[in-house]
Amino acid sequence: MEKTNREGFASNFGFIMAAVGSAVGLGNIWGFPYKMGMNGGFAFLLIYLVLAIFIGIAVMVGELVIGRKTGLSPIAAYRKLSKKFTFLGYMALACPFLILCFYMVLGGMVMRYACGYLLAMFGVDTWGVADISTYFGVFTTNGTSMVIWTLIFIVINAVIVAAGIGGGIEKFCNIGMPCLFVILLIVIVYVAVQPGAMGGYQFMFGFNIEPLKTDFLTVLKTAAGQMFFSLSLGMGAIITYGSYLNKKEKIQKNAVIIVVMDTLVAIMAGMIVMPACYAFLDGNTKGGPGLLFQSMQMVFHNMGGFIGNLMGFLFYFLVFIAAISSSMSLLEALTSSRVDRNVEAGKAPNRRKIVIVFAILVAIFALPNALDGIGAGVAGGATLPTPAELFGMTDAVKGWNDCWLDFYDMLSEGILMPVGAMIMAFAIGWIWKMDFVVEECESSGCKFWGKAFFNICYKFITPIGMLVVLYGQITSYFF
Ligand code: PFF
């Protein structure tokens, strides 16, 4: 057995909470409901579940194996496995960096909303608008406050990650994740008893596969991209957490728990947002990216009074926990890559200094997203050209060139992630072979199950699935 002298998770519970924390994030509470809202409800849910079972679990096991077998973060891990694949490690580093540059902005916005509702419970109005539906526009076009909230969120992340795996991330997630579950349940129950909520459940669970007949590729591509992002796959975070996992813990069991919990939270978040849209917004579930902020704020406004503010606070607080437990895993993926390099070179790990440097870099590259109000417009007097303007493109409807968030997302979630996942699965299936996975999983003293299934997943289903996703993305972006 290989020995690593890195600090790791103190318990398997801590590992699961941290990994579930990484998986459960804005992708579940924001992305999942809004993509489901725009892609036909039940049809989307169905495809999502199929993909999570047939691709998600296998890739999750694969990443945990790579991390734990090497005991290293992505770059060093891939280098150790095969020099030829070191580039995958670099891709798995570029991806979290790009994602963090918009994730931190969104996290800051969520914090602002949580604080707004907390104060509103005590009668302090911080929204400052006559018509609450205009607040989102006012906030996102105020460059100064967007930047300030982003910075606050980055600093909190940095403080936790600087404290290390056991001392920072695990401690936060051990408390944060159970809290998140309890709050989810409270808000679900409250929304469920509102008149009209039924329509939301019908939309989510009523059997309707019509949308698959008209636009199968779009639903498939959206659901697959969402599934990878939501499970934190293809971006180095799970490899990194796997590298801290104790040799005696069971990888397959943990992977299934993470996938099930993540999917459960996505569905639970849908069970807040969809029925709330039916009960308070006349069934308008198509709020798109504005769903989390604009539509939900209208929901809490229409609930009214103290209870509206209380529910608003609970909701945004839970989104805050979800967001920060994800962003810290991304920051950890970046941090550990440098820490490992220092250790390899026989130097001191210097974790704190590395966290500070990455936090500053992320803050700088997050600026375009904060300043253009995640696409809501050029903000606060700063004339920030959109990517389309910058690249001299007249056609700004490609879904990647109209705002900075879409540009960063195109590079990371759109291209790097499917390419990385495709090559990783291919390498496991065809080069390192199944024994590579089986051996590591069985090193914790349990029998590997479903070998044939996993083998087909790595060899065929995942690489082909990712190729289809990539094709769908590229055609939608560039043609
Ligand atoms: N899984 C997170 C979410 O659903 O919001 C986002 C994320 C975290 C993606 C960590 C990738 C990652 F490595």
If one residue of 60, 229, 231, 325 were mutated to test the ligand 1 pocket, choosing by the most ligand atoms within 8 A of its CB, it would be: 229
Backbone angles phi, psi at 125, to 5 degrees: -90, 115
Structure tokens at 192: 């469920």
Backbone angles phi, psi at 193, to 5 degrees: -90, 5
Cα–Cα distance for residue pair 330/323, rounded to 1 Å = 11
Using the mean position of ligand 1's atoms as its centre, give its distance from the Cα of residue 307 in Å: 31
Using the mean position of ligand 1's atoms as its centre, give its distance from the Cα of residue 243 in Å: 17
If one residue of 48, 66, 98, 99 were mutated to test the ligand 1 pocket, choosing by the most ligand atoms within 8 A of its CB, it would be: 99
Using the mean position of ligand 1's atoms as its centre, give its distance from the Cα of residue 269 in Å: 16
- Do residues 248 and 444 lie in contact, with contact meaning Cβ atoms separated by under 8 Å? yes
If one residue of 24, 91, 330 were mutated to test the ligand 1 pocket, choosing by the most ligand atoms within 8 A of its CB, it would be: 330
381 vs 343, residue with greater confidence: 343
Ligand 1 atom closest to the CA of 231, numbered from 1: 1
- Do residues 343 and 349 lie in contact, with contact meaning Cβ atoms separated by under 8 Å? yes
Q: How confident is the model at residue 1 (pLDDT cuts 50, 70, 90)?
A: very low
Cα–Cα distance for residue pair 272/118, rounded to 1 Å = 19
Using the mean position of ligand 1's atoms as its centre, give its distance from the Cα of residue 252 in Å: 20
3, pLDDT greater than 50: no
Of 137, 117, 121, 141, nearest to 129 by C-alpha is 137
Ligand 1 atom closest to the CA of 24, numbered from 1: 4
128, pLDDT greater than 80: yes
Residue 304: partners with Cβ closer than 8 Å, 6 or more residues away:
none
Residue 207 backbone zone (phi > 0: left; psi -120 to 50: alpha; other: beta): beta
Cα–Cα distance for residue pair 116/112, rounded to 1 Å = 6
Tell me the mean pLDDT in the region 222-246: 92
Using the mean position of ligand 1's atoms as its centre, give its distance from the Cα of residue 412 in Å: 11
Query: Which range is least confidently modeled, 69-83, 167-181, 387-401?
Result: 387-401
- Summarised one tens digit per residue, pLDDT across range 399-418 is 787 788 889 998 998 899 99
Q: What is the pLDDT of residue 184?
A: 92
Residue 305 backbone zone (phi > 0: left; psi -120 to 50: alpha; other: beta): left
- Summarised one tens digit per residue, pLDDT across range 81-127 is 999 999 999 998 899 999 999 999 999 999 999 999 999 999 999 99
Of 223, 197, 198, nearest to 40 by C-alpha is 223
Tell me the mean pLDDT in the region 2-7: 55
Of 156, 163, 165, 172, nearest to 363 by C-alpha is 156
E-assigned strand segments in 68-204: none
Using the mean position of ligand 1's atoms as its centre, give its distance from the Cα of residue 229 in Å: 5
382, pLDDT greater than 60: no
Tell me the mean pLDDT in the region 351-355: 96
Q: What is the pLDDT of residue 383?
A: 62
Instruction: DSSP letter for 282, please.
Output: T
Ligand 1 atom closest to the CA of 23, numbered from 1: 1
If one residue of 329, 336, 337, 408 were mutated to test the ligand 1 pocket, choosing by the most ligand atoms within 8 A of its CB, it would be: 329
Burial 24-46 (b: 16+ CB within 10 A, else e): bbbbbbbbbbbbbbbbbbbbbbb
Ligand 1 atom closest to the CA of 323, numbered from 1: 5
225, pLDDT greater than 90: no
Structure tokens at 443: 């090193």
Q: How confident is the model at residue 2 (pLDDT cuts 50, 70, 90)?
A: very low
Dihedral (CA of 427, 432, 437, 443) sign: negative
Using the mean position of ligand 1's atoms as its centre, give its distance from the Cα of residue 408 in Å: 14
> Other CB atoms closer than 10 Å to residue 315's CB: what's the count?
30
Nearest-CA residue for ligand 1 atom 10 is 232
Ligand 1 atom closest to the CA of 329, numbered from 1: 10
Cα–Cα distance for residue pair 301/133, rounded to 1 Å = 9
Percent of the chain whose pLDDT exceeds 90: 66
- Do residues 404 and 368 lie in contact, with contact meaning Cβ atoms separated by under 8 Å? yes
**CA distances, 378 to each of 70, 168, 461, 466 (Å):** 45, 37, 42, 35
Dihedral (CA of 399, 402, 403, 407) sign: positive
Tell me the mean pLDDT in the region 119-140: 92
Q: What is the dihedral of CA 401, 403, 408, 410, to 10 degrees?
A: -40
Cα–Cα distance for residue pair 125/192, rounded to 1 Å = 28
- Summarised one tens digit per residue, pLDDT across range 160-212 is 999 999 999 999 999 999 999 999 999 999 999 988 999 989 888 888 788 77
245, pLDDT greater than 90: yes
Nearest-CA residue for ligand 1 atom 11 is 232
Pocket (CB within 6 angstroms of ligand 1): 22-23, 25-28, 96, 99, 229-230, 232, 235, 237, 326, 329-330
Residue 247: partners with Cβ closer than 8 Å, 6 or more residues away:
1, 68, 443, 444
Q: What is the pLDDT of residue 75?
A: 93
Helices (H) and strands (E) in the chain, counts: 23, 0
* Burial of 250: CB neighbours in 10 Å, binned 0-12, 13-18, 19+: middle
Cα–Cα distance for residue pair 69/436, rounded to 1 Å = 9
Chain mean pLDDT for the chain:
90
Structure tokens at 164: 């290390």
Using the mean position of ligand 1's atoms as its centre, give its distance from the Cα of residue 59 in Å: 15
Nearest-CA residue for ligand 1 atom 12 is 232
Question: How long, in residues, is the chain?
Answer: 479
Cα–Cα distance for residue pair 16/170, rounded to 1 Å = 9
Instruction: DSSP letter for 25, please.
Output: S
